A and B are shown apart, each in its own frame.
Chain A
Amino acid sequence: MSDPSKILAAFRPGEGGRLGRLHPATKLWLLTAMVATPLLSPSVAYEAACLFQSILLSAIAGSRDRIGEALRGSYFFIALIFVINYVFSGDLGLSASMVIRFLSMLVVSIALLTSMDPAELGDLLGMLRLPKSVTFSLVIALRFIPVMADDIQTISAAQASRGYRGDVGGPLERIRRFAPILLPAIVSAVRRSQILAEAMESRCFGSPARRTSLVSYEFGVEDLLWVAYPLAPLAALALVGWNPT
Chain B
Amino acid sequence: MPVIRMENFGWRYEGQERWALRGVNLSVEQGEFVAIVGPNDSGKSTLVMAMNGLIPNNYYGVIEGSVVVKGMDTREHPVADIARHVGFVFSDPESQFLSMTVEEEVVFGLENIGLDVDEIRERVEWSLGLAHIPMDYLEKPPYELSGGQKQRVAIASILAMRPEIIILDEPTSMLDPVGKTEVIEVLREMRRSYNATIIVVEHRMEDIAPLADRFILVHDGRVLRDAPPREFFDDIDFLLEHGVFPPEPMVFVSELRKMGLYDGPIPLTLEEAISASREALSGLRGR
The interface of chain A, by Cβ under 8 A from chain B, is 13, 117-119, 136, 139-140, 143, 146-147, 150, 191-192, 195-207, 209-214
Q: Distance (Å) between the CB of B214 and the closest chain A CB?
A: 23
Interchain residue pairs with CB less than 8 A apart (27): A117-B104, A118-B99, A139-B98, A143-B98, A143-B99, A143-B100, A147-B143, A192-B94, A192-B95, A196-B98, A201-B79, A202-B158, A203-B83, A203-B87, A204-B83, A205-B109, A205-B112, A206-B79, A207-B80, A210-B114, A211-B111, A211-B112, A212-B111, A212-B114, A212-B115, A212-B120, A214-B107
Contact A203 B81 (CB under 8 A): no
B113 at the interface (CB under 8 A from A): yes
A13-B141 contact in complex given A195-B95, A207-B80, C-beta closer than 8 Å: yes
Question: How many chain B residues touch the partner (CB < 8 A)?
Answer: 42
Q: Which residues of A contact B99 (CB under 8 A)?
A: 118-119, 143
Contact A198 B111 (CB under 8 A): no
A199-B90 contact in complex given A209-B113, A211-B111, A212-B120, C-beta closer than 8 Å: yes
Q: Restricting to B100-159, which residues have a CB under 8 Å from any CB of A? A: 100-101, 103-104, 107-117, 120-121, 141, 143, 157-158
B183 at the interface (CB under 8 A from A): no
Contact A202 B98 (CB under 8 A): no
Q: Which residues of A contact B113 (CB under 8 A)?
A: 204, 207, 209
Q: Restricting to B67-98, which residues have a CB under 8 Å from any CB of A? A: 78-81, 83-84, 86-88, 90, 92, 94-98
Contact B112 A204 (CB under 8 A): yes
In whole angstroms, how far apart are the Cα atoms of A147 and B96 in the complex?
Answer: 12
Contact A209 B96 (CB under 8 A): no
Q: Distance (Å) between the CB of B103 and the closest chain A CB?
A: 7
Interface centre among A118, A197, A198, A202 (most CB of B within 10 A): A202
In whole angstroms, how far apart are the Cα atoms of A147 and B113 in the complex?
Answer: 27
Q: Which residues of B contact A117 (CB under 8 A)?
A: 100-101, 104
A195-B141 contact in complex given A201-B79, A205-B80, A207-B80, C-beta closer than 8 Å: no
Q: Distance (Å) between the CB of B238 and the closest chain A CB?
A: 34
The interface of chain B, by Cβ under 8 A from chain A, is 52, 54, 58, 78-81, 83-84, 86-88, 90, 92, 94-101, 103-104, 107-117, 120-121, 141, 143, 157-158, 161
Contact A213 B79 (CB under 8 A): no
In whole angstroms, how far apart are the Cα atoms of A209 and B83 in the complex?
Answer: 13
In whole angstroms, how far apart are the Cα atoms of A192 and B108 in the complex?
Answer: 18
One of B87, B94, B116 near A202 (C-beta < 8 A) = B87
Q: Distance (Å) between the CB of B101 and the closest chain A CB?
A: 7
One of A143, A147, A202, A210 near B79 (C-beta < 8 A) = A202
Q: Distance (Å) between the CB of B252 and the closest chain A CB?
A: 38
Q: Which residues of B contact A214 (CB under 8 A)?
A: 103, 107, 110-111, 117, 120-121
Contact B96 A119 (CB under 8 A): no
Q: Distance (Å) between the CB of B201 and the closest chain A CB?
A: 15
In whole angstroms, how far apart are the Cα atoms of A202 and B121 in the complex?
Answer: 21
Q: Which residues of A contact B116 (CB under 8 A)?
A: 212
Closest 3 CB pairs of A and B: A203-B109, A199-B96, A209-B114
Q: Distance (Å) between the CB of A108 and the closest chain B CB?
A: 20
In whole angstroms, how far apart are the Cα atoms of A212 and B94 in the complex?
Answer: 25
In whole angstroms, how far apart are the Cα atoms of A140 and B101 in the complex?
Answer: 14
One of B58, B103, B114, B143 near A211 (C-beta < 8 A) = B114
Q: Which residues of B contact A206 (CB under 8 A)?
A: 78-80, 112
Q: Which residues of B contact A118 (CB under 8 A)?
A: 99-100
Q: Distance (Å) between the CB of B14 and the closest chain A CB?
A: 15
Q: A195-B92, A201-B80, A212-B110 are in contact. List 15 more A-B contacts (CB 8 A).
A: A119-B101, A136-B98, A143-B97, A196-B97, A199-B98, A201-B78, A202-B52, A203-B157, A205-B80, A206-B78, A207-B81, A211-B114, A212-B114, A212-B117, A212-B120
